[in-house]
Amino acid sequence: MSLGPGREPVAQWMDGRSAARSILAELSVTIGELAAAAGHPLGLAMLQVGDDQASVSYMRAIARCCSAVGVGHQAVVLPAATSPVQLAEALDALATNSAISGVIVQLPLPPHLRATLLAHMPPDKDIDGIHPLNAGLLAIGDAQALAPATPLGGMELLRRYDVPLQGARAVVVGRSPVVGRPLAQLLLQADATVTICHTRTRDLASLTREADILAVATGHAGTIRADMIRPGATVLDFGVNYVNGQVSGDVDPEAAAVASRLTPVPGGTGPMTNAMLVRNLVHAARRQLELS
């Protein structure tokens, strides 16, 4: 990576691609065993409303990931004009389909469909942790919760790179229900001391400079500058932004000259999301078999 004059990268890159490959290789054995016990391959349903091309691309990536480990997959694509009743029918059909072990829904949905999604998403197949039941279980620290895949991937990278969590000061920048909030809950469960920051936070830099672990999920390129990072901190960058035709994170590249560990964009937290979706699918399938 090219930094400013006189600045050299010191950060260790937390390689999400290699970690994801390792996780999927480990899971493939379990997937085969569960498929044999169920009498059919594990199945993932991906539901999308509308034709957003970013969502289409993401579903293709998930499909490739599933194919690589022997998980069946199907796309359920509904028109943009889908009504609440139609969405409810689609979700209810997936809930009762024994060949489907996990369901993910591409977000965001049109606002008039949000209540229907939360009411009809089957919580036992909710492998991205959006159902209120799973969010509530996560909030109280229950191990039965299916947590959102993206923050789970960040936590897995911290563990694989031996980042001390117990007693660490963690600062999460971003409070979305799919990354920032669940990540804060997971860090709390790992005995970190957690601060959540957001767009209304005053003097953001004074808080981020206190972080041993700084996690950034704002959706805005360059939210965190190098001078906002404590030297030696570990930085998780969940951002995916497109600037001048190139992918960039929420953290300025100059952070590599300050942090001790840093996730690259692309290739850091992104690949881990798909691996964690498959891991959650395995957990969900196992529970469904136990209850059948």
Q: What is the pLDDT of residues 55-67, one digit of tens each?
A: 888 899 999 999 9
Q: Nearest Cα to 19, choosing from 122, 158, 181, 215? A: 158
Across 70-99, average pLDDT = 97
* Rounded average pLDDT over 254-262: 96
CA pair distance 209, 128, nearest whole angstrom: 31
* Tokens describing residue 47: 């539901």
- Four-CA torsion 80, 82, 83, 89, nearest 10 degrees: -150
Whether omega before 182 lies within 30 degrees of 0, making that bond cis, reads no
Separation between Cα atoms, residue 111 and residue 113, nearest integer Å = 5
Mean pLDDT, the chain, whole residue set = 95
Q: pLDDT category, 9, cuts 50, 70, 90?
A: low
pLDDT at 55: 87
User: Is residue 3's pLDDT more than 70?
Assistant: no
Q: Which residues contact 40 (CB under 8 A, 6 or more apart)?
A: 99
pLDDT reading at 1 higher than 70: no
In the prediction, which pLDDT does 241 show? 92
CA distances for 255 relative to 120, 244, 250, angstroms:
42, 20, 11
Q: Does domain 38-121 have CATH number 3.40.50.10860?
A: yes
Asked if residue 6 has pLDDT above 90, the reply is: no
d(CA 287, CA 289): 5
Please name the residues in contact with 116: beta carbons below 8 A apart, sequence gap of 6 or more: 84, 87, 88, 91
Give exposure, 262-276, as e/b (b: 16+ Cβ within 10 Å): bbbbebbbbbbbbbb
Question: Which residues in 128-151 are b (16+ Cβ under 10 Å) and which e?
Answer: bbbbebbbebbeeeeeebbbbbbb
Q: What is the pLDDT averaged over residues 146-163?
A: 98
Average pLDDT (7-12) is: 76
Q: What is the pLDDT of residue 196?
A: 98
Residue 20 has a pLDDT of 97
DSSP-derived secondary structure letter, 224? B
292 pLDDT more than 80: no
Helices (H), the chain: 16-38, 53-68, 84-95, 114-120, 132-139, 149-160, 180-189, 204-208, 269-291
Fold of 148-270: Rossmann fold (3.40.50)
Is the pLDDT higher at 55 or at 31? Answer: 31
Residues carrying CATH 3.40.50.10860, the chain = 38-121
What pLDDT does residue 270 have?
Answer: 94
Q: Where in the chain is the domain with CATH 3.40.50.720?
A: 148-270
pLDDT tens track for 203-232:
999 999 999 999 999 999 999 999 999 999
Output the pLDDT for position 10.
Answer: 84
Residue 53: the pLDDT is 84
pLDDT value at 202 more than 80:
yes
- Give Rg (Cα) of the chain: 19
- pLDDT band at residue 149 under the 50/70/90 scheme: very high
User: What is the 8-class DSSP label of residue 202?
Assistant: S
- Please tell me the predicted confidence (pLDDT) of residue 245: 85
pLDDT at 291: 86
The pLDDT > 90 percentage for the chain reads: 90
Dist CA 18 CA 214 (whole Å): 22
Number of Cβ within a 10 Å radius of residue 246: 10
Closest CA to 89 of 116, 128, 59, 111: 116
Beta bridge partners of 196: 172
- Give Cα 65 distance to the centre of its chain: 15
Q: What is the pLDDT of residue 92?
A: 98
